[in-house]
Amino acid sequence: MKTSESEYRVEMTGISKCFGVVKVLENVNIKVKPGEIHALLGENGAGKSTLIKILSGVHPKDSGKIVLNGKEINPKNPHEGQVLGISVVYQELSLVNDLSVAENIYLHKLGSRKFWMNWKKITQDAQELIDSLGFKIDASAKVRSLSIVQKQVVEIAKALSEDTKVLVLDEPTTVFDPTDIKKLFENLFKLKEKGISIIYISHHLDEIFKIADSVTVLRDGVDTGSMAVSDTNKDGVIRLMIGRELKDLFPVRDVKIGEVPILEVKNLTAKNTLVHDVSFSVRPGEVLGIAGLGGSGRTETAKLIFGADKKKSGTLILNGKEIKTKSPVDAAGHQIGFVSEDRKEEGVFLPLSIRRNISVTNFDSISSKLGFINVDNEYKKVLGLIEKLNIKTPNSEINVKNLSGGNQQKVALAKWLSIDSKVIFIDEPTRGVDVGAKIEIYKLINEVAKKGVGVVVISSDMPEIMGISDRILVMHKGTFYGELQKDQFSEENILRYSIGEPLKQ
Amino acid sequence: MALTLKQQLSSPGGILKFLVKYNTIFIFIVLVIFSALISDVFLTSVNLSNLLKQVSGLGIISIGMLIVILTGGIDLSVGSMVALLAVIFALLVNMVILPVAILLTIIIGFSLGSVSGYLVAYQKMAPFVATLALMTIARGLGFIYSKGSPITFKTPGGEFMSNFANNSTLGIPNIAIVFFIIVIMTMVMLRYNVFGRLIIAIGSNEEASRLSGIKVNKYKFLVYAISGALAATAAIIVASRTNLGSPNMGMAWELDAIAAVVIGGASLNGGRGTAINTLMGVLILGLIGNILNLLNVPSYPQQVVKGVIIIFAVLLQRFESK
């Protein structure tokens, strides 16, 4: 198409990719000039990470073309990508905990060329590299001993240790505080001046408008266009991201909430986590939101009640009777459900079929006393749920790993929705889920509440938690700091309580 | 890449797809045809019934190994358990009436398996380590109880067992019938019983199982206990065939059992594997030994061939995946 002199450093054109039966990218285009910071936006599950993984050689593309410096490239693995000058800092950290900072930074060089490594020089080089970024980290320290922010900095240093032409940052600032973010941005501007192309993935639109030159928005695997940042604004970008107005996302709450609490939690304190003195109640039909910063103890609270973590003290009262939940088995026995935020590790059985996934919590209703499963009943139940939850699949025997994030989440939900739960804890109900599935999941939560179930939703997604909850409790440092009624819902109020500040009068 | 290769493979139509999916059965059939072609003796009823008798003991412990492997564990103790339990059975046959001897042997097998199960499920010991310990303990106890030499059956009960183990019903060796019944029971359990479903769930994602309210520890405990009971069943069979219990029985059988399970397409990470495929794995291993014996190949090259077949079978399964 072009000769060797192109105005773009990297061009990805017509990129498509399927995982099994699920299409994750369809004809996506992105072009980045040298010295440009290009923001890649889109909701969770829109295909951003997949696009980056194709660029860096983690996944092969099904079709399309990648051109770097005017030459078509086809990196087959991350190492090839790196050699070509494409470095990626992933959201999930990929450092080796038991090696030093310097060893981690130069890990990709181990085993190449030389037999002996000059550790002194490597440590020195690493130290210089980190110092140049403006952070204080000892290059000879073990990575295990670093804070999560420092680990992220090491990741960035690692990406820069090669002759990098294209640097990709996948949500680098989620763990950073404002001063660290400022430092990071200064570094990015320096790199930009050196002519490095930067692809920057973030959910924080403020950041994008502060540092990016241009932006590409992905929605459900399709790019909805690229533009200069100066030609658009926040509202415009949001509309491109979700494809509709925000208020259409959430169902109308018209559930009659019961008077008597279905579950009361009194002075719950954990043995091994920071959760302490947690007290709250949830009523039948109510959707109770739990907000708070990451690490404030929200997930730990749910796991504590569910019996997955050990309790030190406190009481649980279900329907007026005190119960003990020493393990998830007890909790499930008392008809308390828990949908984990970590869908792949704790929620679903990826290698098993949809049917086998859903049946796991359901055996009481579909098997005889001796444990023999009535297969007709099983199919009836599972197919009914697939239809009700609108899980997009050709049949019930598809393995869950071949479904999209949204459909996987529906399977995880189906496990608990199909039994008569009294209380369900749902941790991050729509993380990594596309917009269409989001709306369906919200509707589902609404319907479950309608049946008189007490639903507790933990979420970091502000619009989400405000959109679906009747009441929000905000956690701060392991306990509830404040409670917000519907008329008090605002991002600012949630944030204030999250950081331990009182509301503005 | 794997996907396109798979697509290429399956593009000519259903046959190749079928072969890839049921590669274990395919390998088995090819081996049978091959054996029948190169040896006149192979298809004789004497040889076939010998073959079945030879694999039945190993087959039964392979089924135990399969259910342990399905949970993501491993049971290295089964070979030594066969030796110890064969010795115990021989001692018991000479002391008490036959039904009691059989029952006690199985109970002891279940109990020994429970020790591994307890260590793995409740003490969080690595299955490899716990069952490695049990392996040497069982072998040692076998030598202690037998004082190092085989114990022969001396009672009418022993004679009855010996007859049972060496005779056939409707042309099928009795001990093979026992093996097949165990295979069928396991098949049914894995497909249609909650216990089977749950051990597969645990093997494919233990944490998700725990958070689904499944009694993970109980099931992990049980699979080792069952593996022990199956080792006892195998011990009774092999002891009865030879009319004695020896501490040298079942040498390295744990490795053959693992091989059979793996040839049968099970994943050592757990969550994947079926009884019918393990049966095929057992038969394939037995067939290789049988045909090489018929061709007078000495035992050392036999081991090499066995290893090559394992590699070949596992490579074939790559295409299947998913």
Starting from the edge strand earliest in sequence, which strands make up the sheet with A63-68, in order? Answer: A22-32, A10-19, A63-68, A71-73
Q: Considering chain A, what percentage of its residues have pLDDT values greater than 70? A: 93
Closest A-chain CA to B214:
A329
Whether residue B10 lies inside any domain: the answer is: no
> CA-CA distance, A451 to A449, in Å (whole number)?
5
- With a cut of 50, say whether residue A1 has pLDDT above it: no
Question: What's the rounded mean pLDDT across residues B289-309?
Answer: 86
Report yes or no: A356 at the B interface, CB cutoff 8 Å: yes
Closest B-chain CA to A415:
B212
- What is the per-residue pLDDT for A3? 45
Q: Considering chain B, what percentage of its residues have pLDDT values greater than 70? A: 92
Report yes or no: A317 at the B interface, CB cutoff 8 Å: no
* CA nearest neighbour of B257 among B82, B108, B64, B116: B64
- Please, what is the end-to-end C-alpha distance for chain A in angstroms? 62
Q: Which residues of A touch B198 (CB under 8 A)?
A: 360, 363
Give the nearest partner residue to B212 out of A345, A360, A370, using CB atoms.
A360
> CA-CA distance, B147 to B239, in Å (whole number)?
17
Question: What's the rounded mean pLDDT across residues B49-75?
Answer: 95
Q: Which residues of B touch A408 (CB under 8 A)?
A: none
Say yes or no for a CB contact (<8 Å) between B197 and A345.
no
- What is the per-residue pLDDT for B8? 42
Residue B251, Cβ density class (10 Å: 0-12 exposed, 13-18 middle, ≥19 buried): middle
Give the nearest partner residue to B213 out of A60, A328, A350, using CB atoms.
A328
Hey, where are the domains in chain A? 10-247, 248-498
Q: Which residues of B touch A361 (CB under 8 A)?
A: 212-213
Give me the domain span that covers residue B220.
46-320
Whether residue B6 lies inside any domain: the answer is: no
Of the listed ranges A111-120, A230-239, B81-90, the least confidently predicted one is A111-120
Question: For A461-480, what is each residue's pLDDT tens digit?
Answer: 888 899 899 999 999 888 99
Cross-strand partners of B160: none
Say yes or no for a CB contact (<8 Å) between B201 and A333.
no
> Maximum CA pair distance of chain B?
64
- Given the structure tokens 């497909």, which residue do they identify? B191
Question: What's the rounded mean pLDDT across residues B12-30?
Answer: 71
Instruction: Return phi, psi of residue A215, to 5°.
Output: -145, 140
CB A278 within 8 Å of CB A302: no
Question: For B160-199, what is each residue's pLDDT tens digit?
Answer: 999 999 988 998 999 999 999 999 999 999 988 999 999 9
Q: Which residues of B touch A360 (CB under 8 A)?
A: 197-198, 201, 209, 212, 214
* CA nearest neighbour of A168 among A211, A204, A198: A198
Closest A-chain CA to B269:
A351
> CA-CA distance, A27 to A63, in Å (whole number)?
8
Q: Considering chain B, what percentage of its residues have pLDDT values greater than 90? A: 62
- Coil, strand or helix at A73: strand
Highest mean pLDDT: which range of A449-458, B222-231, B274-283: B222-231
Helix axes B194-204, B216-242, angle to 10 degrees: 110
Going by DSSP bridges, is the β-strand pair A454-458/A423-427 parallel, antiparallel, or unpaired? parallel
Whether residue B17 lies inside any domain: the answer is: no
Give the nearest partner residue to A345 out of B207, B212, B214, using CB atoms.
B207
- What is the per-residue pLDDT for A397? 87
Q: What was the ipTM of the complex prediction?
A: 0.79
Q: How sure is the predictor about A401, in pLDDT bands with cuts at 50, 70 and 90? A: confident
Say yes or no for a CB contact (<8 Å) between A333 and B213.
yes
Number of structural domains (chain B) is 1
Mean pLDDT score of chain A: 85
Of the listed ranges A86-95, A188-197, A241-250, the least confidently predicted one is A241-250
Question: Which fold would CATH assign to domain A10-247?
Answer: Rossmann fold (3.40.50)
Does residue B6 or residue B182 have the better pLDDT? B182
Mean pLDDT score of chain B: 88
Show the DSSP H helices in B122-205 as ranges. Answer: 127-146, 156-166, 174-192, 194-204
- What is the per-residue pLDDT for A393? 82
Going by DSSP bridges, is the β-strand pair A423-427/A336-339 parallel, antiparallel, or unpaired? parallel
Question: For A260-314, what is each residue's pLDDT tens digit?
Answer: 999 999 999 999 888 999 999 999 999 999 998 877 889 999 999 999 999 999 9
The CA R_g of chain A, rounded to the nearest whole Å, is 25
Give the nearest partner residue to A338 out of B195, B211, B271, using CB atoms.
B211
Whether residue B30 lies inside any domain: the answer is: no
Q: Which residues of A touch B208 (CB under 8 A)?
A: 340, 345-349
Across the A:B interface, residue pairs with CB atoms under 8 Å apart total 78
Report yes or no: B207 at the A interface, CB cutoff 8 Å: yes
> CA-CA distance, A349 to A347, in Å (whole number)?
7
- What is the per-residue pLDDT for B5? 42
Report yes or no: B213 at the A interface, CB cutoff 8 Å: yes
Q: Which residues of B touch A332 (CB under 8 A)?
A: 212-213
Question: Which tokens belong to A70?
Answer: 């005017």
Q: Considering chain A, what percentage of its residues have pLDDT values greater than 90? A: 26
Helix axes B174-192, B194-204, angle to 10 degrees: 70
Q: Which residues of B touch A371 (CB under 8 A)?
A: 193-195
Q: How sure is the predictor about B216, in pLDDT bands with cuts at 50, 70 and 90? A: very high
* CA nearest neighbour of A61 among A28, A84, A33, A94: A28
Going by DSSP bridges, is the β-strand pair A166-170/A197-201 parallel, antiparallel, or unpaired? parallel
Going by DSSP bridges, is the β-strand pair B151-152/A321-323 parallel, antiparallel, or unpaired? unpaired
Whether residue B37 lies inside any domain: the answer is: no
Does residue B168 or residue A405 have the better pLDDT? B168
- With a cut of 60, say whether residue B4 has pLDDT above it: no
Please report the beta strands in A210-249, taking only residues with DSSP state E, as ranges in sequence order.
214-219, 222-228
- In angstroms, the separation between the Cα of residue B268 and the nearest Cα of chain A is 14
Of the listed ranges A20-24, A353-357, B137-141, the least confidently predicted one is A20-24
- What is the per-residue pLDDT for A244? 62
Whether residue B78 lies inside any domain: the answer is: yes
CB B203 within 8 Å of CB B299: no
- In angstroms, the separation between the Cα of residue B6 and the nearest Cα of chain A is 12
The domain made up of A248-498 is a member of CATH 3.40.50.720? no
CATH code for the domain in which residue B79 is found: 1.10.3470
- What is the per-residue pLDDT for A44? 61
- The helix (run of H) or strand (run of E) holding residue A23 is strand A22-32
> CA-CA distance, B175 to B238, in Å (whole number)?
9
- In angstroms, the separation between the Cα of residue A243 and the nearest Cα of chain B is 32
> A67 CB contacts (<8 Å, ≥6 apart)?
A1, A2, A6, A8, A10, A11, A12, A13, A73
Neighbours of A43 (CB within 10 A): 22
- In angstroms, the separation between the Cα of residue A43 and the nearest Cα of chain B is 26
- What is the per-residue pLDDT for B13? 52
Residue A163, Cβ density class (10 Å: 0-12 exposed, 13-18 middle, ≥19 buried): exposed
